[in-house]
Structure 1
């Protein structure tokens, strides 16, 4: 186990990151192989990853081909109202190639380039390709359907319809 004064102070708060930090300290591993390959960085549902550090954010953007992100804040009532909808969409699309994540902009303001929350962004290969803001469930569902559904049609998660299969 990695022993470092910083970790001794914050161990209780960051215990879920110790496997990642230990792998990094020994010169191996990556965030996707440490934290995000198991349930340790997921919220209570197990379907939405909670981004806790700038490095985690950078690693997710770098390693995930399709990333759907909920930018939120604990004080934001519309954000809290949209959270169960976002979590439901993550569950509905669990078999898809998309990764669903949430970022508290008060904890990681450098990750957010918008002006209002809740904001939902779609990143493809680290590049923001689409977004919606506000508490409209239908807008969020359309955003996810447009991009996650398209990703599945492109062959990364679902088989093609019968009429497109090679005979």
Structure 2
């Protein structure tokens, strides 16, 4: 029995197209809908005779922001969040404008100060042309068809890849019950 049907693999390009459409459609709504930003990390699931292996792409997600838990006997849930700060360009304010009533000496001094400040902040005030990295919250659940040994699971995060090894539980041994 296959854990995931072949249909899912055949339709993957269509699902990626829908994901890309969603990313582009809501790209400019960062501030308004920040709470609903989410993404779906890609996972590979492999089954062997003794265990299952999950390998998921979580580039940029810190270990402390990942939660792995069992929701029932055979369902593993992986959730978390990826935060990414981007600063908006500096907007001029009233304080930035020079007053028309100031003397020429004062305005020359202010202009030289502004040039020094501009040199210092030039590299820090970058303007984003494209922002394609996945940010927000994610939530994935995996249901396993076989019994799982929940106490022997091992998880690691290395180079942006979350690896989880989930051992299968041994079949319960038949026990004969004696009648007294």
TM-score by length of 2: 0.25
Q: Which one has the largest radius of gyration? A: 2
Q: Please identify which structure carries the higher strand content.
A: 2
